[in-house]
Homo-oligomer: A and B are copies of this chain.
Amino acid sequence: MKRLTGSAKVISAILAQEYAAYAKTQDNFDDIVAEIIKNVRKDGDKALTSYAKQFDNMSIETFEVSRETIDQAFEEIDPEVLVALKNAKRNIESYHKHQVEPGFVDAKTDGVVRGQLVLPIEKVGVYVPGGTAAYPSSVLMNVLPAKIAGVPEIYMVTPPQEKFNPAILVAAALSGVTKIFQVGGAQAIAALAYGTASIPKVDKITGPGNIFVATAKKQVFGQVGIDMIAGPSEIGVIADQSANATYVAADLLSQAEHDRLARAILVTNSVRLADEVDLALEAQLQTLPREAIARESIETNGRTIITESVEEMFELMNELAPEHLEVAMDDAISYLPKIKNAGSIFLGHYTSEPIGDYYAGTNHVLPTSGTARFYSALGVYDFVKRSQFTYYSQDAVITAAKDITKLAYSEGLQAHARAIEIREGVNVDD
């Protein structure tokens, strides 16, 4: 991989420029997508049928995927994949249940009760891509947190296909999706945002998709909530001389195989390890079925950064704020306090990043492109709203009236002050 040296600030600035350059290469489909959304709002199901013909070459009369089709998928799925999905589901549930918030109430002042209700979002739509990008694991990762949040209606949309991947339908059924609709692309996002006769209007849309889906999500944002717009996948590995170069190379490749644009970044204070990882990468690439993609990712976007010290390794990685962060060091847990920005952290020589993609139960929908500085993994907290409530008794209003009206008048908002003064018993001249 290309090597970089220098201070954390310099290197992170170089990488930030590379991110920005990538963003500029993205094609712009704003106008096409705006037109699709407009047509779906105007013509509803008729537009969806027409786009299914145009984009998917399918004649769709009924959008809802039938109970029979889903039952059939359970017949067809590899029984070992079914077991693995069930085990993954169990782990995702046990992890995400810790994220359930109870709300609170505060009743410490006479006549005053304040609190926060945590309410599930009422209707959620989950987009699931078709074809080779159809990942049953992503169905679990998107739907289960919503389910645990208590969302009563969860609608999955996926492009119409001659034959659905049975694992996708099984994952949807296992996670408790309310209904599955065969509609894809920007038109599916428009249908979820505005509703049609067949597709319910939802409050929030999550799930990955191609550039049309991502653009549509941006355009309907505000009308409905959306999750993050994901960039290419990234892995950052912090490794010292205690690391196993073969393991590190394998983990870097597990991200690199996703996409030519995926980024694998090794930060180490050991030149020897960096050399060994390069050799191991080459050896492993040669037998990888997705070699072409992984090689382009490693050669174009992969970086090895050599630092002087352990402190610098973490300083640099905090500037990068990677989606996935492996700490391939002995006693990895002792470095947890040094980590400020990372979507998901994998500690120690055996905690290979794919464990998190499929199985550990932590979420694999993660902030990319440095947005882990301010974003978090998808979680139960993304499927709730926190509603404040307040009760003031007459006496409590009388007590607080002077302060409230002072502030209101100082901001020139007289009607605010009057709403307090007009209450019986309030006399701010006291």
- Chain A positions within 8 Å of B, measured between CB atoms, are 78, 80-81, 83-85, 87-88, 94-95, 98-99, 101, 104, 106, 108, 112-114, 116-117, 119, 121-122, 132, 135-137, 167, 203-204, 222, 224-225, 229, 246-247, 250-251, 253-254, 256-258, 284, 288-290, 294, 332-333, 336, 339-348, 350-363, 367, 369, 371-377, 379, 381, 384-394, 396-397, 400, 402-404, 406-408, 410-420, 422-423
Contact = CB atoms under 8 A, between A and B. Distances in A.
B225 A354 contact: no
Given A117-B339, A343-B388, A354-B417, 14 more contacts: A83-B403, A83-B406, A95-B106, A98-B116, A122-B340, A222-B229, A257-B413, A288-B415, A341-B385, A342-B387, A350-B397, A357-B408, A373-B385, A376-B385
B114 A362 contact: yes
Contacts of A84: 402-404, 406-407
Contact of A415 (B136, B250, B347): B250
A374 B385 contact: yes
B354 A420 contact: yes
Copies of this protein chain in the complex? 2
Contacts of A346: 389-391
18 contacts: A80-B406, A113-B333, A114-B360, A122-B340, A136-B410, A136-B411, A137-B407, A204-B374, A222-B371, A247-B422, A250-B415, A346-B391, A347-B391, A355-B390, A356-B388, A360-B392, A362-B390, A374-B385
Contacts of A332: 391
Given A106-B94, A288-B415, A410-B78, A350 B386 contact: no
A243 B54 CA distance: 57
B389 A345 contact: yes
Contacts of A385: 341, 367, 372-376
A387 B114 CA distance: 29
Contact of A388 (B167, B345, B404): B345
